[in-house]
Amino acid sequence: MSFVITTPLYYVNDKPHLGSIYTTLICDSIARYKRLTGADVIFITGVDEHGLKIQRTAKNKGVEPQFHCDEISDIFKQNWKNWDITHNKFVRTSSQKHEYIVKEFYNRVKKSDDIYMGVQKGWYCVGCEEFKDNPDNSPTHKCPIHQKTLEWKNEENLFFKLSKYQSQIEELIKEPAFIQPKERRNEIINFVSKGLKDFSISRTNVSWGISVPDIDNHTFYVWFDALLGYVSAISLDMKEPSLDESIDNGWPADIHLIGKDILRFHAVYWPAMLISAGMKVPKKVYGHGFLTREGQKMGKSLGNVLDPDILLSKYGKEAVRWYLLKDITLGQDGDFQNKRFVDIINNDLANTIGNLLNRTSSMSRKWFDNRVPSNEMLSKDNSLELYAKKTVENYFRHFNSYELDLAANVILSLAINTNLYLNEKQPWTLIKDEKNIPLVSNIIYNVLESTRIVGLLLLPILPNLSSKIDQQLGLLYNEKGSWKKQLDWGKLIHESILPAPNPVIEKLEYE
């Protein structure tokens, strides 16, 4: 059974920002987790390349739209490589294969008698690529998101009969599992309750787009085109992609993970379009929050934009992954605070996890000839074993509910509890008496075994740190192996040789 997860298809007006990195890292961790549990994962990401904004951006740069899109698309691909993103589908909406899917889908919707020609009048935001129903009362009619003046449009467009699907959308969005978190679901329920209006799906003043079949001078509205990237991505490997092939090979998506600002398109317009075309709707749409910096909205005008490339080169991918996934509750807004970031990495990763491994493996090398000691005294009432088993149970429950911050925190709790166990048992004192060697052996084994489980649980979140922990324990695991079975207590092999010490993560410095 396939598990299909998607990021948004990122708009290529500019290179990736921290928000797009955040979304993609979440999807990457979920995809890694699902693979480890045995799922056949289709992880879709890519870029949305059409529309008036791209057309104007390219013109301002003095280049053709395709050249601009090629350039930014390559930057996205390189970024995902730099961040070790494990997607297996990267879709570009300017590809010919995607165009095949869009036109086939359009013909299906047309056969459902859901398309008609009309006139669209209203204030339009080029940045959002959408009409604004209720602009503010200022004379300039500014977009509340981009703070740029809206443009008045009065043109002939094709329309999709969204209003026809009012009752079906109402029933769909009432399902608690469809839209998460509940705050986002309530927003959509409120929006739909006001009555759905038909929306235009073509433009006449945009040459950079997919042409509408048999209608001159019309190109598809960017949102009608882009949403279908999730479908065309599944059939990218086919010589002649089709909707049926996409359906056979994985559609519908199990989860669309998106920013809350584009929730309406994914949770209302998209399902209605799919129903019209006789296709299944996605199983879940998850709208995450926005990122701020030191309590302020990030913006070029404020000079406080966090460049993900600089973060990567300065701190490394593991540190950024841990902060974004552990410190921010999925669905809520998050704030990037530099002091808090450094403190969390140093306390959680360097001190709690890294130091636990370093000092315990050092004791084991010193006292047990560079080997993992025996666990012959392992008893049924081993408190650390019981805590580890409970941790694994909670970890699976949280990850299955996409509560990545809680999953990360139960890992940290296991490491904290293991440190407390070590300090309570004080093997450095017991070892002074030779008769306590079997007891010390058991204590050290328990701590190393608990640390091994910490490392395994980190694999979907911090794959590189997980691998380093394994290496320091003399272990080698394969992501495609029996990961869940390896989480059973007692898998650390007695007498395994421990390699020379090598810190698994360095402390960060304040700047």
Known binding site for Zn(2+): residues? 125, 128, 143, 146
CA dist list (Å): 51 to 13, 185, 202, 224, 289: 10, 28, 10, 11, 25
**Long-range CB pairs of 65-73, under 8 A, 24+ apart, other chains included:** 65/208, 66/94, 68/12, 69/12, 69/94, 72/12, 72/13, 72/14, 72/15, 72/47, 73/12, 73/47, 73/49
Query: d(Cα 26, Cα 252) in Å, to the nearest integer?
Result: 20
Query: d(Cα 359, Cα 355) in Å, to the nearest integer?
Result: 6
Query: d(Cα 113, Cα 159) in Å, to the nearest integer?
Result: 11
Residues belonging to the binding site are 125, 128, 143, 146
Q: What is the amino acid identity at position 319?
A: A
DSSP character string of 369-409: TTBPPP-TT--TT-HHHHHHHHHHHHHHHHHHTT-HHHHHH
The sheet with strand 115-125 has its strands ordered as 130-132, 115-125, 151-160, 199-200
Closest CA to 1 of 45, 44, 37, 46: 37
Closest CA to 84 of 148, 28, 122: 28
Query: 225 and 100 in contact (C-beta within 8 Å)?
Result: no
- φ/ψ of residue 135, rounded to 5: -65, 160
Closest CA to 406 of 395, 392, 414, 421: 395
